[in-house]
Every structure is written in C-alpha cells, then in structure tokens.
C-alpha cells in the first residue's frame, strides 16, 4: 500500500451545498500530512467522511486500503482519531477510561501510555469532567496514540491551546514518527506547529484541493519578492500568473513568487531591468496567507 489514505473525486453535499468537490487526495504511507485551508474549506467534512461518520455523496475514499463506507471495528482498532467534537464519558477517571479503551486495541502499548501520561502531566485519578479543554485534549491524544495506530487522524488538535500544551502534543505525535509504516493526517490553523510537524501539505479551497506536495518543495517554491523601482520604471499591468498579491506602494513593488526557480528569478529581472530586487523565504503561515488571498472567493452559490 503506497497510500495510507486516497480519495477519488470525493464529493460531499449538505443539502444543496457541496462542502467537498471532486476531491482527489493522496496521503503517502509514512507521511505526516497537513490538510490546510481557510475556514469552511471542507477540512472537517473530509475527515468525517474518511472516518465513515458520514457517507460521501459520490466518489470514493480508501483508508488503509479499505473503502471508508466499509470500515469496521478491526480497521478502527488501527486508526487513532482525535476531534474536538468527540465525546468522552465525563464521569470516568483517566485511569478508568484507559482501562475501558485498552481491550478494544490489540496493539495497545501500556508503556507508551504511561510515558505519555507522565509527559502530558496527567493525574490518572482525575475525573474527565474536572479537566480543562486542553487537558481533555491531551487525554484524547493519549488514547489515540497508546494503541500505536497505523494511522492517526487529528482534527484541529491545537486550536485554542497554550504553547506548552501544543509543544507537548507535538512531542507526543513526533515520538511515533520514527516508526515505519505509520502515517498521520491533521488539520490545523496553527501554522507554526504545522510547519514543524508535517512533511506533506494539502491545501483545500472551496472544497477542492489546489495544492498537494511535500512541505520542503512547497516552502522552496514560494518566495517574498520586493523590488525598489527606479525612476520612471514601468509596472506590468498584467503580472505573471505565478506572482501572487502583486502590489505597488510608492516606489516599491511587492509580490509572492509561487514558482520560484532560477528562471523565475530571470523573469523578475527582465520585467524590472536595473532595479534592486530582494527576495526571501516564506514561513508556512505566509504561504497560507498568500494562497488564501489568491483564491477567488466562493460565490456561495449552490454549486
């Protein structure tokens, strides 16, 4: 199996609104894949469909080689899923919920569970209902990671958490990352965390995937460019399509090059002969902003 997850022309409709449109995505086996996109892009719907929490309207999703609609208990025993919408029995203590989950997972690793509990600073006697949101999320992550799943699916694991908790979760996820044959898919808006954690990126916009590639190639492809315009310099009325967010502010022209290469470099210089041109790398956060701004807003019509 080359892909932990693959979808083909997956479409999900809520009434007349299409949340996901013809989505074809591939999560390579062994990768830590971040599915990004602005609010309402269709990320959570995609994850719910993958987990068979809702059926696709059309198209197919295969998870660990199994059609999502056919996923059964033995498949779910190999998948860890963490979502904010998940309910966990709030009257149980952490130790009780661990004991409750353990028999469902043949691969449950008790040593790892203890290690994570200590790393996350969790008291096994604490009752779920007394825990803060961040601590509850740590419990969910512990329950998802302890079975050493073949596939981990995390829906917004970092949202609203303080930096220390986010750091703990990152460490927890990475502690599984050097194991072979292990894959993860996550959605998040915490771009700094994603930039560290993920090695593959998919970018969803209006329910469609517009970018899917390794993190290193994505970050190498985007560059911030600033041109100091000489006197009387002409500015292109129609900048090349690979220039995102082209703007002129006084004597400075700025844009984000989305296809950086020596050839693109030569193109800047031919458009602005004799100008001083500076360029630099972008963080994932800046790439996200540039991509999001470059998308035509969804007309909001019932597609």
Partner 1 sequence: MLPFSLTVRPGEPIVEQIVYAVTRAVVSGQLRAGDRFPSVRTLSQELKVNPNTAQRIVALLVEAGLLAVEPGVGTVVTNHRQPTAGGADAATRRSDLAALEERLAEPLVVEARRLGIGLADLVEIVRRQWKRLDQSR
| CB 222, CB 302: distance < 8 Å | no
- The answer to whether residue 219 forms part of the interface with partner 1 (CB under 8 A) is yes
Least Å from the CB of residue 164 to partner 1 = 12
- The answer to whether residue 196 forms part of the interface with partner 1 (CB under 8 A) is yes
Q: What distance in Å separates the CA atoms of residue 253 and residue 225, rounded to the nearest whole number? A: 8
Q: Which two tokens stand for residue 153?
A: 């699916």
Nearer Cβ to partner 1, position 96 or 195? 195
- The answer to whether residue 121 forms part of the interface with partner 1 (CB under 8 A) is no
Q: By rule CB under 8 A, what count of residues binds partner 1?
A: 26
Q: Looking at 35-43, 65-73, 78-86, 189-197, which segment touches partner 1 (CB under 8 A)?
A: 189-197
Angle between helices 110-119 and 163-177 (to 10 degrees): 160
- The answer to whether residue 216 forms part of the interface with partner 1 (CB under 8 A) is yes
- The answer to whether residue 32 forms part of the interface with partner 1 (CB under 8 A) is yes
CA distances for 92 relative to 48, 133, 148, 256, angstroms = 26, 16, 23, 51
CA distances for 106 relative to 73, 78, 101, 131, 198, angstroms = 11, 9, 10, 28, 28
**Of residues 70-99, those binding partner 1 (CB under 8 A):** none
Pick the binder of partner 1 from 25, 215, 225, 227 (CB under 8 A): 215
* Alpha helix ranges (H) inside the chain: 43-50, 73-76, 94-101, 110-119, 133-145, 163-177, 191-197, 215-221, 262-271, 284-294
The conformation of residue 84, written as its DSSP 8-state character, comes to T
Site string for partner 1, 238-277 (x = CB under 8 A): --------------------------------------x-
Pick the binder of partner 1 from 47, 198, 253, 264 (CB under 8 A): 198
| CB 82, CB 154: distance < 8 Å | yes
Q: Which two tokens stand for residue 91?
A: 């009257």
- The answer to whether residue 301 forms part of the interface with partner 1 (CB under 8 A) is no
Pick the binder of partner 1 from 60, 267, 285, 294 (CB under 8 A): 285
- The answer to whether residue 102 forms part of the interface with partner 1 (CB under 8 A) is no
Nearer Cβ to partner 1, position 61 or 272? 272
Site string for partner 1, 140-179 (x = CB under 8 A): ---------------------------x--xx--xx-xx-
Least Å from the CB of residue 65 to partner 1 = 24
Nearer Cβ to partner 1, position 70 or 174? 174
| DSSP per-residue string spanning 209-237 | EEEEEEHHHHHHH-EEEEEEPPTT----S
Q: What distance in Å separates the CA atoms of residue 282 and residue 267, rounded to the nearest whole number? A: 20
Number of neighbouring beta carbons within 10 Å of residue 139: 21
Pick the binder of partner 1 from 282, 288, 290, 291 (CB under 8 A): 282
What are the residues binding partner 1 (CB under 8 A)? Answer: 32, 167, 170-171, 174-175, 177-178, 192, 195-199, 214-216, 219, 276, 278, 281-286
């Amino acid at each position: 199996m080359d892909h932990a997850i693959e979808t083909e022309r997956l479409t999900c409709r809520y009434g007349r609104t299409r949340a996901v449109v013809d989505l074809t995505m591939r999560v390579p086996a062994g990768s830590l894949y971040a599915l990004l996109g602005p609010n309402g892009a269709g990320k959570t719907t995609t994850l719910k469909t993958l987990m068979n929490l809702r059926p696709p309207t059309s198209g197919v999703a295969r998870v660990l080689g199994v059609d999502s609609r056919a996923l059964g208990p033995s498949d779910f025993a190999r998948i860890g899923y963490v979502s904010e919408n998940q309910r966990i029995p709030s009257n149980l203590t952490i130790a009780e919920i661990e004991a409750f989950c353990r028999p469902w997972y043949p691969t449950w690793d008790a040593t790892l569970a203890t290690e994570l509990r200590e790393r996350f600073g969790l008291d096994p006697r604490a009752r779920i209902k007394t825990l803060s949101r961040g601590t509850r999320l740590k419990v969910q992550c512990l329950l998802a990671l302890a079975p050493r799943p073949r596939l981990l699916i995390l829906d917004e694991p970092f949202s609203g958490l303080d930096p220390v908790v986010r750091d703990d979760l990152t460490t927890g996820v990475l502690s599984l990352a050097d194991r072979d044959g292990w894959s993860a898919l996550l959605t998040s808006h915490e771009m700094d965390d994603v930039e560290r954690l993920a090695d593959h990126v998919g970018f969803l916009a209006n329910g469609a995937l517009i970018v899917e590639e390794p993190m290193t190639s994505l970050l190498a492809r985007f560059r911030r460019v600033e041109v100091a315009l000489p006197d009387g310099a002409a500015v292109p009325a129609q900048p090349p399509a690979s220039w995102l967010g082209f703007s002129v502010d006084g004597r400075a022209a700025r844009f984000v090059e989305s296809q950086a290469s020596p050839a693109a470099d030569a193109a800047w210089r031919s458009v602005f002969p004799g100008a001083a041109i500076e360029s630099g790398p972008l963080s994932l956060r800046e790439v996200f902003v540039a991509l999001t701004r470059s998308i035509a807003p969804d007309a909001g019509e019932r597609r």
